[in-house]
Amino acid sequence: MNTLAIIGLGPRGLYALEKLIQQLSVSEKKLHIISFEPEDDPGAGQVWRKQQSESNWANITVRALQDFQGRPEIAFKNNLIEPFPAFTDWINYNQNDSDPDIYPTRSKIGTYLNERYNSLKIQKLDDITFKLIKEKVTKVTYVNTKLHVITDNGNCSEVDDVLITIGHQSTKLSSQLKSWKQHASFKKDLHAFENSYPISQFNFLKRENDVTIGIRGFGLAMVDVMRALATEVFGKFEITNSDTLKTIYINNPDKKITIVPFSLDGMPLAPKPLNSVIDQLFQPSDKVLESLKIQIETVAKINSDVSDFGFLTEPIAEISAKIFTNTKLKTKSHALNKEQIKNLVITWFNNENIEHELIIDKKNSTYNLIKAFIEMASNRCAISLDYCIGQVWRHCQPTIYKSLSHSKLNNDLIKKIIDLDDRIKRYSYGPPIQSMQQMLALVDAKVLNLDFVKNPKIELCDEGWQLINSKDDSITTKSMINSVLDAPELLEIDTPLIKNLLHDDLIQPIHSELGIETDTYGIVQNSNETHPVSIALLGRLSKGSVIGVDAILECFGKRVEDWAINYVRNLN
């Protein structure tokens, strides 16, 4: 009986397990599975664990999670695995298209995932033996035709095959973060946090009566931290308009908190549309998306000599121009025809800093930019072209990701496309409107200070960190929180498992600034030709080989299914 190790039993590991069982159920093959997951909630993993702050929201609507399918009934030889409902059925989702979209907490999704795992009852299946080890894997090494999986407790398991489904991995600290950590070590009342999670690590700050906290980064993690710090003891949010989710913040008169976020460009996130009715205005038809798929694959799957991403951006510019000129959409007034709009979109793809009357003016204050984006997302003011492009891009993303993964494109071009996608995520991965309304409410209540949001000068001082803006205004914080999520650059990862795999030549990057090279079945392409090993990897660390790896829906997608089909087909 072959032995498979699954390293990481979060959502992707859970789905791999489900699809593996499904494939084994129609075969005569047997398998011993050892799964390694250090977190308390198998199926949920770290990001979706059940015991986490309610301030941590998923960045996907429940409406979009209607694509999160349940598990069908599996007849496994002498056993029957009961079906498990889709997420929206599990929570009894029922909503009108005109109602504001609902964003679940991460803990809610984690509860669903953990219950889905528990319902498998895999230990009772004939022809499968299963063992779950609650330890963290630090090394996988090749010894005498076998793979040895070694954990942080020093335990070793000998296996034939390995599937790695781990998520975010920490990277080497930047020089800035190193200096902050060192500075904080000198005085016990100074604090420098490398990561935003778990949010519970900041609870002790709430015991202060007057606290000022700096947050490095102005993205989604910053929003979670902001919400967690501001609620409970310091005050509370109250929605004053259920249609727009307009919010006020009520301070606790006995406590004071000041939150100071900052980033390189100081640009805020653009929220997703308020509801389904508005979101549909940006939705390309199925016919248009199928045409986009053909146009991308005609180049990406065949041509390795192409040097720029025009084959991708031109058809999306065409789609964006058509939607922007649709009379149903409220847009800024202009005298441009569709072709001129298309050319402007292409120009914006190549240079996001262009200035044009149809593109939101970055010179506006951060507060006014947030306010304008909220109005656009609510369809209550003229929509700028850049906001429109971002929402169209979001609807095109599944097609883009599928069509570009495992392409023939050269690695430098893949890197440029990923950089473009990451840049547009300010719009396409935007937060709920409610999060941005909360941000405005905190500014109005003088809790959130946006005066230093754009690349302040930061000086170390006896009192902590002094932030200085372009007007020479300054503010001092005793605590600094890093909310910038590390990119999945393989060579920068600082966790033992990945460092050891690299050291032993069992994995290699597809590009110096990207992730691990894998084939269409998730099998790692390693440079060890003398001793080929059976290691597969699914998920974030394969970025480059595949594109679009972070979303929860991607954990339950075709890439996992393809791995399971191929694995069982080749099983002895």
DSSP 70-105: -BPPEEETTEEEPPB--HHHHTT----TTSPPP--B
Distance CA 106, CA 555 (A): 15
Two tokens, residue 185 = 């070590």
Distance CA 474, CA 476 (A): 7
Q: Provide the residue type at 28 as one letter.
A: E
pLDDT of residue 519: 87
With a cut of 50, list the residues of the chain below it in pLDDT.
none
pLDDT of residue 531: 55
Q: 524: Cβ–Cβ under 8 A, 6 or more apart, which residues?
A: 506, 507, 516, 517, 518, 533, 535, 536, 537
The alpha carbon of residue 385 and the mean position of all alpha carbons in its chain are separated, in whole angstroms, by 25
Q: Do the domains spanning 2-170+487-569 and 175-267+432-482 agree at the CATH topology level?
A: yes
pLDDT of residue 205: 94
DSSP state of 267: P
pLDDT of residue 528: 57
Two tokens, residue 510 = 């597809």
Q: Where is 321: in which H helix or E strand?
A: helix 310-324
Of 526, 520, 524, which Cα lies nearest the Cα of 563? 520
pLDDT of residue 529: 59
Domains of the chain, by residue range, sit at: 2-170+487-569, 175-267+432-482, 276-428
pLDDT of residue 515: 80
Distance CA 125, CA 111 (A): 24
Q: Where is 192: in which H helix or E strand?
A: strand 191-193
- Residue 171's SS3 state is strand
Where does 2-170+487-569 sit in CATH, by number?
3.50.50.60
- CATH 3.50.50 at 175-267+432-482, yes or no: yes
- Residue 559's SS3 state is helix
Q: 233: Cβ–Cβ under 8 A, 6 or more apart, which residues?
A: 206, 252, 255
571 and 29 in contact (C-beta within 8 Å)? yes
